[in-house]
Amino acid sequence: MSAVYRAVISAVDKKVPARIKPLWDHPAGPKTIFFWAPTFKWVAGLADINRPVQNVSLYQSTALAATGLIWSRYSMVIIPKNYNLLSVNAFVALTGLYQLARIAQ
């Protein structure tokens, strides 16, 4: 890890309220990529919802639906269970299915 990252986390650690500390220190919490990757996946998925149907790819939507379902299952098998990863991948699967329904119309 970079020295900058360690310095920032060390400074923020002291300011985290006690009631939020368990989330902050969780193995899939905000100090890890396991928190931020799904968070940015949410942002990308929300941005795709309003994409014009003529710009939606059948193959990409199928792949998103399938991988969303697969990774949703995976997030419940790994240790620690990652509910953020579960929710974002369920959302990705639903987004893919929604886009497939739009293509079918």
User: Could you read off the pLDDT of 24-48 as tens digits, one per residue?
Assistant: 888 878 888 888 888 888 888 888 8
Query: Torsions phi, psi of 42, nearest 5?
Result: -60, -45
Neighbouring CB atoms inside 10 A of 47's CB total: 9
Alpha carbons 29 and 32: distance in angstroms, whole number: 6
- pLDDT of 19 reads 94
Q: Give the torsion sign (CA, 25, 28, 33, 38).
A: negative
* Cβ-proximal residues to 79 (8 Å cutoff; 6+ apart), any chain: none
Mean pLDDT of 52-70: 91
Q: What is the pLDDT of residues 3-27, one digit of tens each?
A: 888 888 888 888 999 999 998 888 8
CA distances from 38 to 13, 68, 104 (A): 22, 12, 28
